[in-house]
Amino acid sequence: MIILRDEKRIARLNLLAKITSYGGMAILLIGLALAFVGQNFQRVFLFQLGALFVGWIASQVGIYLTQRYVRNPRPDQVLDEAVRKVSKDGRIYHFLLPAPHTLLTPHGIIVLNPKPNTGKISVVGDNWQQKGGAFRRLLGQEPIGNPTREVERMVEALANFIRKNAPEVDEVPIGALIVFTTKGATELDLKESRIPAMHYTKVKGFLRQQKRELLPPDVYAALRRAFDEKAVHLTEVIYEGDSA
């Protein structure tokens, strides 16, 4: 499998995550220290309130970015692990296309939406619920949101990209998959999801069960040209062997 990943973007956001995390904590400490400094209580209180607010926002942004761009393994790396053994002819594009994680194979396109799984997560249709993990969410853990609508927006954005950048391609079906990427946390009830959703350990089996026809060679070539055009600036492309 070929992995095309915008490492420079990841490095930038990795640095931003560290700056906002440590900077936010520093501002919070300054805000707390202001309580013991100065004689003008009203003025100090306003400065303290502002410092605490700015520090909290910065720290939450930092924690959010850390989960995506610092955590080891990152969600994109977990996706690589999940699909590489069943997509030996595939090309996966990370942070390069309108859909941040896009898998292209001779059989078609799949947009992947990675999500952390903390607490107990369940879904009926596109109605998602997350119970437990409230303390982690308070500390910046990404809430579940609505992965169904998120991935649908990604699919639509990618379809618009294809219409613009590969106009010779007629409408091509785009698959979607919601993948939970936290290792060891599997309190998931996803049977009623309108869009396939699963823990990353089940992706390989799911994809192997899918019966999909090959794309016409000219369609696949046009899609690959359009997608690769967004990766021409990369200095490194990763090839992973396809041994099972």
pLDDT, tens digit, 9 for 90 and up, residues 71-110: 889 999 999 999 998 888 999 999 999 999 999 999 999 9
Q: In what order do the strands lie in the sheet with 101-105?
A: 197-199, 174-180, 108-115, 101-105, 91-94, 2-5, 238-239
Asked if residue 106 has a cis previous peptide bond (ω within 30° of 0), the answer is no
Residues 55 and 140 in one domain: no
Residues 12 and 65 in one domain: yes
List, in sequence order, every residue forming a beta bridge with 5; answer none if it has no partner: 94
Number of folded domains that form the chain: 2
Residues 83 and 161 in one domain: yes
Residues 29 and 125 in one domain: no
Q: Minimum mean pLDDT among 18-22, 28-32, 39-43: which range?
A: 39-43
Average pLDDT, the chain: 88
Task: Specify the pTM.
Answer: 0.85
Position 186 scores a pLDDT of 74
Position 46 scores a pLDDT of 80
Domain span at 233: 77-239
Q: What percent of the chain has pLDDT over 90?
A: 59
- pLDDT band at residue 244 using 50, 70 and 90 as cut-offs: very low
Residues 63 and 127 in one domain: no
Single residue among 23, 43, 69 that ends a domain in this structure: 69
Residues 92 and 158 in one domain: yes
Single residue among 69, 100, 117 that ends a domain in this structure: 69
Residues 136 and 228 in one domain: yes
Note the pLDDT tens digit of each residue in 136-147. Answer: 555 556 678 899
Over residues 205-216, the mean pLDDT reads 90
240 or 131, greater pLDDT: 131
Residues 25 and 135 in one domain: no
Q: In what order do the strands lie in the sheet with 127-131?
A: 127-131, 120-125, 188-193
Position 210 scores a pLDDT of 87
Q: Tell me which residue has tokens 């997509």.
A: 87
- Residue 225 Ramachandran class (φ > 0 left, ψ -120 to 50 alpha, else beta): alpha
Q: What single DSSP character describes residue 144?
A: -
- pLDDT band at residue 70 using 50, 70 and 90 as cut-offs: confident
Single residue among 69, 103, 121 that ends a domain in this structure: 69
Position 19 scores a pLDDT of 93
DSSP states along 188-227: EEEEEESS-EEEGGGHHHHHHH---PPPPHHHHHHHHHHH
For residue 244, being part of any structural domain is answered with no
Closest CA to 203 of 79, 76, 74: 79
Position 141 scores a pLDDT of 63
Position 137 scores a pLDDT of 53
30 or 80, greater pLDDT: 80
177 or 61, greater pLDDT: 177
